[in-house]
Amino acid sequence: MDRENRVSITVIRRLPKYYRYLGDLIRKGINRISSQELSKLTGFTASQIRQDLNNFGGFGQQGYGYNVEELHSQLGKILGLDKTYNTVIAGAGNLGQAVANYKGFEEAGFKVLAMFDKNPKFIGLKIRDIEIKDVDEMEDFIKENDVEIGIITTPKESAQDIADIYIKSGIKGIWNFAPADLKVDDDVVIENVHLNESLFTLSYFLNNKQDYVRG
């Protein structure tokens, strides 16, 4: 793959969507799809789809389109979904429990090994088969269990402390739900889910429908 230039973040953010649609097509028994048909499904234009996928070496054939299973598997590899990841969750409140309960993550290869909280009322409880442990044990647990992704579902105030423990323990990927921008080393990747920003975007579009483009 020729990857001299960085792939733009907007392109990358579309890949999981392609991946999801292709998975749906496989479940429906569809083996082959044109960029035009993919366009109808995803709402992106056919030329955008071709351009997006060209960033990663193409995969399509003129006049044939894309082999669904092959493209799905290639995108899966690009997204790193051909591996499994050990994860932990810091913050055992509703949001942490919602993440722990979501079986789709485990099916995609993200295994939650443990949850951590400082609140004694949570410690010792289990969500599915995932134990909630004392946050004081977190650093050792991460080091001993080869944890690669740390999830933060604590309140804003604790988020940086948790991130610091994650990094000290060797974690390189943080999935952050706290409404805070975390300061981390350059080699640590953060993906934020900022729910208030999403809600405010909705209210923007409710008030400015002329700017709204579905997709």
Query: Do 115 and 98 touch, CB atoms closer than 8 A?
Result: no
**Least distance in angstroms from the C-beta of 199 to a second copy:** 6
Orientation angle between helical segments 35-42 and 46-54, nearest 10 degrees? 110
Dist CA 156 CA 168 (whole Å)? 20
* 126 interacts with a second copy by CB under 8 A: no
Dist CA 74 CA 135 (whole Å)? 38
**Least distance in angstroms from the C-beta of 185 to a second copy:** 11
- 169: its two tokens: 């323990």
* 207 interacts with a second copy by CB under 8 A: yes
Binding residues among 157-186 for a second copy as defined by CB under 8 A: 172-173, 175, 179, 181, 186
**How many helical (H) and strand (E) elements, i.e. helices and strands, does the chain have?**
9, 9
Size of the site for a second copy (CB under 8 A): 65
Dist CA 38 CA 21 (whole Å)? 8
Binding residues among 38-77 for a second copy as defined by CB under 8 A: 43
**Interacting residue ranges for a second copy, rule: CB under 8 A:** 3, 6-7, 9-10, 12-13, 15-17, 19-20, 43, 78-81, 83, 85, 93-95, 97-99, 101-102, 104-105, 108, 110, 148-149, 172-173, 175, 179, 181, 186-187, 189-191, 193-214
